[in-house]
Amino acid sequence: MPTSILKTEIDQQPEVIRNLLNSQQENVQRIARQIRGKFQYVLIAARGTSDNAARYAQYLLGINNRLQVALATPSVFSIYHAPVDLCGALVIGISQSGQSPDIVSVIAEAKKQGRPTLAITNNPQSPLAENAEYLIPLQAGEERAVAATKTYTASLAALALLSCSLLEHPEYAAELQKLPDAMQTTLQNTEIAIARAERYRYMEHCAVIGRGYNYASAFEIALKIKELTRVVAEPYSSADFRHGPIATAQSGFPVILIAPRSAVQDDLLDLIRNLQSRGAELLIISDDPAALEQAHFPLPIARGLPEWLTPLITVLPGQRFAMQLAIEKHLNVDQPEGLTKVTETL
Amino acid sequence: MPTSILKTEIDQQPEVIRNLLNSQQENVQRIARQIRGKFQYVLIAARGTSDNAARYAQYLLGINNRLQVALATPSVFSIYHAPVDLCGALVIGISQSGQSPDIVSVIAEAKKQGRPTLAITNNPQSPLAENAEYLIPLQAGEERAVAATKTYTASLAALALLSCSLLEHPEYAAELQKLPDAMQTTLQNTEIAIARAERYRYMEHCAVIGRGYNYASAFEIALKIKELTRVVAEPYSSADFRHGPIATAQSGFPVILIAPRSAVQDDLLDLIRNLQSRGAELLIISDDPAALEQAHFPLPIARGLPEWLTPLITVLPGQRFAMQLAIEKHLNVDQPEGLTKVTETL
């Protein structure tokens, strides 16, 4: 079988991130110097995969930078034409293509209100880039597979660079440099584990659970599974899952848990025990042998990354799992039926 | 069959809302006078059903009051112990029980930072109420069914009262008074339609789609279906659905659409046509005959409410549908297996 475009793009990720970290450091430091002190909170406009990058920003900028992050409701601007008062906001638009009119409308309105605006996009000639005051180009190369992978992790890395640059904390910046190797190791680990994914050939739905920084990975892995395999995959935080949906976790129900060593680890280990007592089927993405031991399907990630950077590696086994499941189901991984690469919504 | 507690509480909603609107008007006007001009944006902390009330607030306060609303990520406060700088925020906690420590921790931190804080809860003696500077008690009477219904619509009505009181716009306030009758009519319409819910006896998953003000109803209906029936129900905005998950909508896939007459109606009618061409099964909640005609399962709501108040009636057929489906599946509607009324998460 020839290598798919999707597999090539998944495997490019360590190199894409290395390139972004090296080439964009100065640009992002300059942006940070210019916006520092000019806002009280952050508003992010994004859709689909980019919205999951925004979820990462909620925890990254929240915990590391003590910034409150709001996610925009673009239709308020684009359909209801009732732009909110953005006083106090730094407004960030994230979009691979930079084309979606609803995301562009938020940035355009922010600019009109005189707020600082930043575009994070893989297309520096896009309407999003052209409307924003500042730009972090992802430089990931053209993404040809419909399911976004390298532009997702590149968006996370761009946000991590921004967080570090706003902090001016040399230790954090040094940790960023560990990313490409940790991503490479994780992809290698995954390649070994993934052969057994055929176990899930007839899975019809599943839940994907993460918390804190890795809440974003739960959403992004669920989205990849839905896009590539049509399996109904539902993302949750462990807390929200306990507030209702846990009722669906009957015997055999597959749950993908993102449980790296972290501040939320005890909470997740407790949920793992609860799910085991219900007879759920556990797929666990972790660097913790104690967690991996509890899994029917362990997906080990590289060790040694600080928690705030783990979302860049926990998503990788999820991307690869979604791709493998599509192969087992005889589906086209590069061009899933019913989807287009650029979706323009109002 | 004796009437279930759940059915009794669903049917109490028009009266609960009438009572809340009458008894809390002065209190909420006083709160509005005291907080006006003291904040630049709104931060809401909530979980589960109350988080769906917060989603309504994003559109309600966004479109009607031009306020940006952020949803809190409680674990940033409760697990990571990294409280964000809340400068500029009005902080609202919504919780039926007022007990969940993670929600209380956000309000307590806001108070510590000297920010205005508001609790919306059915328990005025709860830690949430006691920690907040201002309180809107829901006065819905004890809610005994595990699946929340009347405290959800009461939370929406409390937010609608707040929005009107901040606006000081007599027309909006007058429209609020239409709610109890419109809820009553909708419940009556639903009772006629719901007998055919047995059609979905063996449904295993579904999508629930709304947009704008009714994005909240999509989330809340999906949550009721999950809690009461264990069916995997996924909520989406029509825009996010087009950005990937639409791939799962194959022939026969059930989609519940919340499509009242509204600013987002054209967008939803376009999606309905797309879904029809894919052979999806359509359940449509609407006051628009043109939309209802396209449905395999039409759920007509009362006419004549302005769009911003429709979420208080569009959710009703969804609650009742989830309940009926549980009955058809021989499940306990008052005490779904595996759930507890008060869920305390960190």
Helix (H, G, I), strand (E, B) or coil at B85: coil
Domain ranges, ordered by start, for chain B: 5-177, 180-328
Give B127-169 pLDDT, tens digit per residue: 999 999 999 999 999 999 999 999 999 999 999 999 999 998 7
Which of B73, B96, B229, B234 should we substitute to test contact with A (largest number of A Cβ atoms within 10 Å)? B73
Q: Count Cβ atoms below 10 Å from residue A33 Cβ, excluding itself.
A: 12
The model's pLDDT over B262-302, given as tens digits with 9 standing for 90+, comes to 998 999 999 999 999 999 999 999 999 999 999 999 999 99
CA atoms within 13 A on the CB side of A265: 14
- Express each pLDDT in B49-73 by its tens digit: 999 999 999 999 999 999 999 999 9
Specify whether the CB–CB gap between A215 and A193 falls below 8 A: no
pLDDT value, residue B62: 97
Cβ of A338 and B247 within 8 Å? yes
- Tell me if A5-177 shares its fold with A180-328: yes
Q: Which residues of A touch B77 (CB under 8 A)?
A: none
Strands (E), chain B: 41-45, 68-71, 89-95, 117-121, 134-137, 205-210, 232-237, 254-258, 281-286, 297-300
Nearest partner of B206 among B273, B281, B125, B277, judged by Cα: B281
Q: Does the pLDDT of residue A152 top 90, yes or no? A: yes
Which of B84, B105, B206, B258 to mutate: most A Cβ within 10 Å? B84
Q: Which CATH number fits domain A5-177: 3.40.50.10490, 3.40.50.300, 3.40.50.2300, 2.40.50.180?
A: 3.40.50.10490
Band of the pLDDT at A204, cuts 50, 70, 90? Answer: confident
DSSP secondary structure letters along A61-116: IIIIH---EEE--HHHHHTS------TTEEEEEEESSS--HHHHHHHHHHHHTT--
Cα-Cα end-to-end distance for chain B = 39
| Token duo for residue A104 | 């562009």
Helix, strand or coil for residue A45?
A: strand
- Helix, coil or strand: residue B263: coil
Work out the number of other CB atoms within 10 angstroms of the CB of residue B12. Answer: 18
The pLDDT-based confidence of B23 (bands split at 50, 70, 90) is very high
Residue A88: which of B41, B71, B79 has the nearest Cβ? Answer: B41
In the prediction, which pLDDT does B168 show?
A: 80
To the nearest whole Å, the CA of A321 is away from the closest chain B CA by: 17
Helix axes B179-193, B311-328, angle to 10 degrees: 30
Q: Which pLDDT belongs to residue A21?
A: 97
pLDDT band at B115 (very low <50, low <70, confident <90, very high): very high
Residue of A nearest to B49 (CA): A243
Three-state DSSP at B42 gives: strand
Q: Is B170 exposed, middle or buried (0-12, 13-18, 19+ CB in 10 A)?
A: exposed
What would the mean pLDDT of A320-329 be, rounded to a whole number? 97
Name the pLDDT band for A346 (thresholds 50, 70, 90).
low
Tell me the chain B residues in contact with residue A73 when contact means C-beta distances shorter than 8 Å: 58-59, 62, 215
The residue in chain B having the minimum alpha-carbon distance to the alpha carbon of residue A206 is: B232
- Is the pLDDT at B341 greater than 80, yes or no? no
Looking at residue B169, what is its pLDDT? 79
- What does the mean pLDDT of chain A come to? 94
Partners of residue A211 in chain B, C-beta under 8 Å: 75, 79
For residue A313, pLDDT beyond 70: yes
Q: How far apart are alpha carbons A343 and A40 in whole angstroms? A: 32
Sequence-separated (6 or more) residues with CB below 8 Å from residue A212 = A59, A63, A262, A263, A264, A307, B75, B76, B79, B80
At B250 the pLDDT is 83
Of chain A, the end-to-end C-alpha distance in Å amounts to: 39
Does position B1 have pLDDT exceeding 70, yes or no? no
Reported pTM: 0.94
Mutate to test the interface with A, among B60, B236, B243, B271 (most CBs of A within 10 A): B243
Say how far apart CA A311 and CA A157 lie, in whole Å. Answer: 10
Minimal CA separation from B253 to chain A, in Å:
11
Residue bearing the bigger pLDDT, A35 or A204: A35
The arithmetic mean of pLDDT across residues A243-261, rounded, is 88
Output the furthest CA–CA distance in chain A (Å, rounded): 55
pLDDT tops 80 at residue B243: no
- Please list, in sequence order, all residues whose beta carbon lies within 8 angstroms of the beta carbon of residue A125, skipping any fewer than 6 positions away: none
Q: Among A157-166, A332-341, B151-160, B189-198, which stretch is predicted with the lowest mean pLDDT?
A: A332-341
- Taking the CA of residue A89 and the nearest CA in chain B, the distance in Å comes to 9
A244/B223 Cβ within 8 A: yes
| DSSP codes of every residue in A172-234 | HHHHHTTHHHHHHHHHHHHHHHGGGGGGGTT--EEEEEE-GGGHHHHHHHHHHHHHHH--EEE
**From A50, which residue of chain B is nearest by alpha-carbon distance?**
B243
Nearest CB among B70, B80, B343 relative to A68 is that of: B70
pLDDT digits (tens, 9 = 90+) for A74-121: 889 888 998 999 999 999 999 999 998 989 999 999 999 999 999 999
Q: Taking CB atoms and an 8 Å cutoff, what residues of chain B touch A336?
A: 247
Q: At which residue do the structure tokens 């009362």 appear? A: B302
Per-residue confidence at A318, pLDDT binned at 50, 70, 90?
very high
- Give B-chain residues touching A75 at CB under 8 angstroms: 211-212, 237, 239, 264
- The answer to whether the CB of B336 falls within 8 A of the CB of A248 is no
Q: What percent of chain B has pLDDT over 70?
A: 99
What is the mean pLDDT of the segment spanning B70-85?
A: 91
Residues 6+ apart with CB under 8 A from B242: A343, A345, B271
Assess whether pLDDT exceeds 90 at residue A244.
no
SS3 of residue B14 by DSSP:
helix
Residue of B nearest to A207 (CA): B232
Looking at residue B180, its pLDDT comes to: 98
Interface mutation vs chain A, best among B43, B66, B76, B87, most A CBs within 10 Å? B76
Number of Cβ within 10 Å of residue B328's Cβ equals 16
B123: region left, alpha or beta (phi > 0 left; psi from -120 to 50 alpha)? beta
Q: What is the pLDDT of residue A337?
A: 79
DSSP 8-state class, residue B307: G
Residue B239: pLDDT band (50, 70, 90) is confident
Q: Give the neighbor-by-neighbor strand order of the sheet with B297-300.
A: B232-237, B205-210, B254-258, B281-286, B297-300
CATH architecture classification, B180-328: 3-Layer(aba) Sandwich (3.40)
What is the model's pLDDT at position B346?
Answer: 67
Q: CB atoms < 10 A from the CB of A30, how many?
A: 12
Q: Give the per-residue pLDDT at A1.
A: 62
Segment A24-55, tens digit of pLDDT:
999 999 999 999 999 999 999 998 899 999 99
| Strand ranges across the sheet with A41-45 | A69-71, A41-45, A89-95, A117-121, A134-137
CB neighbours of residue A8 within 10 Å: 14
